[in-house]
Amino acid sequence: MINGKKIVVVMPAYNAEKTLEQTYKEIPFNIVDEVILVDDFSKDYTFEEARKLGIHKVIRHQKNTGYGGNQKTCYREALQSNADIVVMLHPDYQYTPLLLEAMVYPIARGLYDVMLGSRILGKGALRGGMPMYKYIFNLILTFCQNVLMSQKLAEYHTGYRAFSREVLEKLPLEKNSDDFVFDNEMLGQIFYHGFTVGEVSCPTKYFKEASSINFKRSVKYGLGVLRVSLTYRLQKMGLGSYKIFD
């Protein structure tokens, strides 16, 4: 615990058998109280590997629900485990668990409600192997979102995130997409409800076993991101009403 807060790490997993052990063993258990892994009906032995490692709670979906659907289960389970702070850590070793302290302390000390590990702050993204088209795509989308949502984030598209319990209890997450745009819908909800967001620079690793979406899925995701930002703007201006912001 930090400052009396129970820290729970959730791992939304899909075909993470080869990278799970390395990720799990770097988690700083001097501050983390519990780890929950949700296997989204992987085609490999992710579930069996998680059980072998002794992860506190391992859940397997009986069908693939998508990245957003996986997170919904993760957060429900974390709240049921009485978590005060929840960190989403991908088990593909793209984000380092060694940054967990930096993610958690600002929330535990009451400085922020949400913390993001940004790959764009500093020069970690390209050094870590992020494809140039994704890097440029990220910058353009982030600029557009900052304008439409009146924010100043360095990156909206990181999968390394930490939340206070209050945030997860307040947001209508079940109304969000089950696909990759879930992350951006969640950020829109966070801003809409007035929660504070901090960022830390986060190195990243791109390699064969790390999860990544292809160009076609990236374009679909980008269009979804712009939709979220536009609906956020319209809702704030009183020109529309959208279920994810209710």
Residue-level pLDDT at 214: 72
Residue-wise over 112-127: b if at least 16 C-beta within 10 A, else e?
bbbbbbbbbbeebbee
Residue-level pLDDT at 142: 95
User: What band does 211 get if pLDDT is binned at 50, 70 and 90?
Assistant: low
What are the C-alpha distances in Å from 85 to residues 82, 118, 137?
A: 9, 19, 31
Backbone angles phi, psi at 182, to 5 degrees: -50, -45
C-beta of residue 27 within 8 angstroms of C-beta of residue 97? yes
Which position has the token pair 């992020």? 130
User: What band does 212 get if pLDDT is binned at 50, 70 and 90?
Assistant: low
Conformation bin of residue 66: beta by default, left when phi > 0, alpha when psi is -120 to 50? left
What pLDDT digit, counting tens, does each position of 138-158 carry?
999 999 999 999 999 999 999
Question: Which CATH code fits 7-245?
Answer: 3.90.550.10
Backbone angles phi, psi at 223, to 5 degrees: -65, -40
What pLDDT digit, counting tens, does each position of 76-92 carry?
999 999 999 999 999 99
65 SS3 class: coil
Q: Which two tokens stand for residue 99?
A: 């940054």
Nearest 5°: the CA angle 117, 123, 127 is: 100
What pLDDT digit, counting tens, does each position of 27-68 carry?
999 999 999 999 999 999 999 999 999 999 999 999 999 999
Helix axes 17-25, 46-53, angle to 10 degrees: 30
What residue segments make up the domains of the chain, in order of their start?
7-245
User: What band does 112 get if pLDDT is binned at 50, 70 and 90?
Assistant: very high
